[in-house]
Structure formats: C-alpha cells, structure tokens
C-alpha cells in the first residue's frame, strides 16, 4: 500500500513545507522603558505570528488580527505588533514597561503558505544608576544607590590619597519586590575626616556606566559678624553643564538659599543682597559663597554646596559660627577717652548755661548794693567810711571767691574738652547790657569833701 502524504494543519489551515532557522539576536532594554524585540519574515500573503518565552505564550496574531485568548497574564496589556507593517514582513514585538522578570530567551514564530520560520531573541534588562547619595559621620563614609539592576561594582579613593588597605569597605545588597537592587557601601575611617575628599564609584555590570559621588567636610569656620565672609566650595575636577545648589541648615529644616544652572544661566537667590557668587570663577569650578554682612542669628549654621553634573555629584559641607563683634583694647581706650571728653564738655556746657550766669548776676547785684551804700544818705555825720569799705570788701570777696572757684573749675574742664569755649569770654559775653563789674577799691587818702570822715549810724551799731 502506497504511503499518503498528509499535511500538518495549524490554525489557520496552512500547509508548511519549509522551516528556516536564523541565529539568535541579542537585545538589552532599560527598565522601565519600552523595548522592541526584532523579527522579520518574507511576506507572501497572509501570515500567522506567535511569540513565546520559553513556551509561555506572549503574543499571537492570525486571521489578520491580534489574538489574546492564550496570552500569559504577566504580559497582559504590555505587548503589541506593528500591524500596519506586517504585510511588509515586520513581525517585531513591542514590549512596554520592561521589568526584571522579562529577561530571557524569546521565540518569534512566523508561518505563511510557503513555509514557517523561527527566530530567537535573547533579552537582557538593566536599570541605570540614576544617583548616588553620599553621607559622612565622624567615623564612616557611606554611598547608597537604589533601583539598580544588575548589581554594580563599588570602589573608593581619596584626595589626598589614603594608605593602602585603609579603604576597605563593606557592601550590603538588597532587592525589592520588582527585583531591583539597593546597594550600600560603607567605608570606616580612623582619624580626622576634615579636608579629605572621598570618592566612591558605582560601575555598572556591563561597564557602560560609571557614576561618581564625592564629598568633603571642611574645617569649621568662626567669623565675626559684620565682616565679609567667603565660604569655600571648589569642585575637585573640571565640571561642565552642571547645576549648583547652596543649602543652609540651622535649627530648622534645610533651606535652599541659592541655585544656579549653567545650561540656562538661571539664578535663584533667596538671600539676594546678602550672598553672591562670582560668575566668572563659578564656570571654573569655584562656587564659593560670599556673605556681605553676616550676623549671628541668621547666618550661623551648616552650609552645603552641591555640584550636580552628568553621572556625578560633588558635595562640600562646612559649619559656620558667626560670633558677636569684639572690641580691642585700643578701641576701648578710644571709647573711654571719647566718653570722658564728652562728659567734660557736657559739664562745661551745663555750667555755662546754668551756674555761671547766676554767679555773674549775683556779683553785679552785690556790687550795686555796695556802691549804693557808699554813696547814699545812710552815712552818719562825723563817722568814718572804713566800716562800709570793710563790709563791702568782705561781701564782694566772698561772692567773688565763689565765682573765681567756679571759673577755675570751668577752665580745668575746658582743658579736658578741647571743644569747650573759653570761660572768661563766655562770662563777659553773658553779662546783661550796661552792667559794669566794679573792682574793690582801697582808700588811698583822706575821705572826699562832704563826708568829713564821719561814720554812718549803721556802722556804729555794728561796732566797727
């Protein structure tokens, strides 16, 4: 009995005579981006397309439309073909929002009336290193990066260089429910960490990416308020297309006080008028912050300067203590001398305005009284004027001594306060108009005619 050839039918009912095998294609996709798995065939009318991952149905197409009845739920809603390109021989698969679990070997199966074809695609996935956070304590330096795949390599260096073996670090790796890694590397240091720049490098598994983080803790600064202060921040290497951020932390949460972007040349300055940057030096990597008139309450605290560039970040941290302004001994002497001079001048001014005019008026009054008694009708016939002269002289001398003492005190104070006016000139200038100051006269000869050398009754009563 002759054998009969029976064709094999698949849905739809196509007869296959030829099977073509092509070499594997290798594709690497970035998590969580979309990814294309390539596949092409020779178009000859209608076609059947099946995508599998290790026998797991991923996507199917026949009867000129997508078929999702057998699709595995892991790929549900995340796959599609380029339907408009299928008649031209394109059976590539678009896989959306790639995950760690998507990695593996995929098969693209195509079938036409002239034969079928199998093409394999090896899919690798990776999650890029987007940032590295670096922290420092008194004893350790730590670098941390999250959502990475696969595990990167971590290395350390310092500037100035550290002794060999001093940079031994411990690495802790953990995974989340998505299969992404969190990597933390801790470097334990013995000694002072100030003014040492630490570098940690995260290198991806395929060596295509190196992310650098560096940090430096400057020595604390104490600065007197009111005097201009420059807070240093210099990048350890040439940086281009970076953004700069200055942060100030006191008793409250950190506050961004200044930001600058070299691409847009845009500057944000919360402390406008209080803090500035040198734009020319900034482009050379010197981002030192200039405080014009720092004060204790507002400007003391911790300052953090950060350069953020392409796959790199450099941080400088420094504590600033603004102190109350102190006065030197020479300045104190000058102040004491000034206050002493001012006090002397005030005393002289007070004396001139209040005490001296009263003295002058009192002296004028006494002199007029003496003159009246000497020339009036109260003299006693046959008496002597000696008693009158003696009494007048005593009264004038008594009040004159007070004025002389006051004048001497004013002159003494005037010498201490060079700005005080001359006492004698003031005394003369303040006399009422028409007032004459009479000096004490001593009788040189016999009494004038008309007095006859007689004493007044008042003088006899006083016993002179």
pLDDT, one tens digit per residue, over 308-342 is 999 999 999 999 999 987 654 555 566 566 666 66
What is the reported pLDDT for 406?
54
Measured CA to CA, the distance from residue 434 to residue 416 in angstroms comes to: 33
Q: Is residue 382 part of a domain?
A: yes
- Indicate the residue among 217, 246, 272 that finishes a domain: 217
Q: Which domain holds residue 417?
A: 343-462
pTM of the full structure: 0.64
pLDDT of residue 366: 60
Within a domain: residue 2? no
**Non-local CB neighbours of 59 within 8 Å, separated by 6+ positions:** 49, 50, 51, 66, 71, 75, 79, 80, 81, 93
Section 388-400 average pLDDT: 46
* 21-68 pLDDT tens trace: 678 999 999 999 999 999 999 998 899 999 999 999 999 999 999 999
- Torsion sign, CA atoms 445, 449, 451, 454: positive
Q: 270 with 259: CB under 8 angstroms?
A: no
Of 98, 126, 154, which one is at a domain's C-terminal end?
126
In a domain, 331, yes or no: no
User: Tell me, what's the pLDDT at 202?
Assistant: 97
> What angle, 0 to 180 degrees and rounded to 10, lies between the N-to-C axes of helices 356-375 and 386-416?
170
Does residue 225 sit in the same domain as residue 302?
Answer: yes
Q: What is the mean pLDDT of residues 418-430?
A: 42
CATH number, residue 192: 2.60.40.10
Please provide residue 366's backbone torsions phi and psi, each rounded to the nearest 5 degrees. -65, -40
pLDDT above 70 coverage of the chain, percent: 65
pLDDT above 60: residue 6 = no
Cα(250)–Cα(449) distance, integer angstroms: 100
Note whether 396 and 454 are same-domain residues.
yes
Q: What is the pLDDT of residue 168?
A: 80
Inside any domain, residue 416: yes
Q: Do 178 and 236 fall within a single domain?
A: no
pLDDT higher than threshold 80 for residue 81:
yes
Same domain, 141 and 106: no
- Count the domains in the chain: 4
pLDDT in tens, 238-281: 777 899 999 999 887 899 999 999 888 899 999 999 999 998 89
pLDDT tops 70 at residue 445: no
In a domain, 4, yes or no: no
Is 344 or 439 the better-scoring residue by pLDDT?
Answer: 344
Q: Cα-flanking dihedrals φ and ψ of residue 343, to 5°?
A: -65, -40
Asked if the structure places residue 59 within a domain, the reply is: yes
In a domain, 330, yes or no: no
Q: Are residues 361 and 455 in the same domain?
A: yes
Burial bucket for residue 363 (CB in 10 Å: 0-12, 13-18, 19+): buried
Q: Report the pLDDT averaged over residues 149-167.
A: 86
Q: Is residue 336 part of a domain?
A: no
d(CA 326, CA 335): 13
Say what the pLDDT of residue 442 is.
Answer: 46
């Amino acid at each position: 009995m002759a054998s009969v050839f029976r064709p094999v039918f698949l849905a739809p009912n196509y007869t296959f005579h030829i099977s073509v095998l092509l070499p594997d294609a290798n594709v690497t996709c970035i998590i969580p981006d979309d990814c294309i798995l390539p596949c092409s065939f020779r178009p000859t009318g209608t076609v059947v397309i099946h995508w599998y991952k290790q026998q797991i149905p991923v996507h199917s197409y026949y009867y000129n439309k997508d078929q999702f009845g057998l699709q595995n739920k892991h790929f549900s809603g995340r796959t599609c073909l380029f339907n408009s390109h299928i008649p031209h021989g394109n059976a590539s698969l678009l896989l959306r929002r790639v995950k760690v679990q998507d990695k593996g070997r995929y098969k693209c199966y195509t079938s036409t009336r002239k034969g079928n074809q199998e093409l394999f695609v090896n899919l690798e996935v990776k999650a890029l290193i987007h940032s590295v956070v670096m922290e420092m304590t008194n004893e350790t330096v730590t670098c941390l990066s999250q959502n990475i795949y696969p595990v990167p390599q971590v290395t350390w260096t310092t500037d100035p260089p550290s002794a060999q073996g001093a940079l031994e670090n411990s690495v802790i790796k953990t995974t989340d429910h998505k299969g992404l890694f969190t990597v933390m590397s801790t470097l334990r240091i013995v000694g002072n960490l100030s003014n040492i720049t630490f570098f940690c490098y995260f290198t991806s598994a395929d060596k295509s990416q190196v992310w650098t983080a560096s940090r430096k803790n400057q020595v604390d600064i104490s600065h007197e308020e009111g005097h201009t202060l420059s807070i240093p921040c210099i990048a350890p290497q040439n940086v281009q297309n970076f953004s700069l951020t200055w942060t100030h932390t006191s008793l409250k949460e950190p506050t961004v006080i200044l930001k600058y972007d070299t691409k847009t040349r845009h500057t944000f300055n919360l402390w406008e008028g209080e803090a500035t940057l040198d734009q020319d030096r900034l482009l050379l990597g010197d981002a030192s912050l200039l405080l014009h008139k720092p004060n204790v309450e507002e400007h003391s605290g911790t300052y953090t300067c950060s350069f953020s560039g392409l796959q790199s970040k450099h941080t400088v941290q420094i504590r600033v203590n603004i102190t109350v302004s102190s006065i030197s001994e020479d300045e104190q002497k000058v102040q004491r001398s000034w206050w002493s001079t001012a006090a002397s001048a005030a005393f002289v001014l007070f004396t001139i305005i209040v005490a001296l005019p009263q003295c002058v008026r009192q002296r004028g009054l006494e002199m007029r009284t003496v003159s009246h008694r000497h020339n009036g009708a109260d003299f006693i016939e046959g008496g002597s004027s000696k008693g009158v002269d003696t009494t007048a002289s005593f009264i004038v001398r008594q009040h004159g001594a007070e004025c002389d003492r006051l004048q001497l005190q004013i002159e003494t104070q005037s010498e201490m306060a060079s700005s005080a006016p001359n006492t004698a000139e003031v005394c003369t200038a303040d006399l009422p108009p028409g007032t004459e100051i009479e000096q004490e006269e001593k009788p040189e000869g016999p009494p004038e005619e008309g007095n006859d050398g007689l004493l007044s009754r008042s003088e006899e009563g006083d016993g002179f």
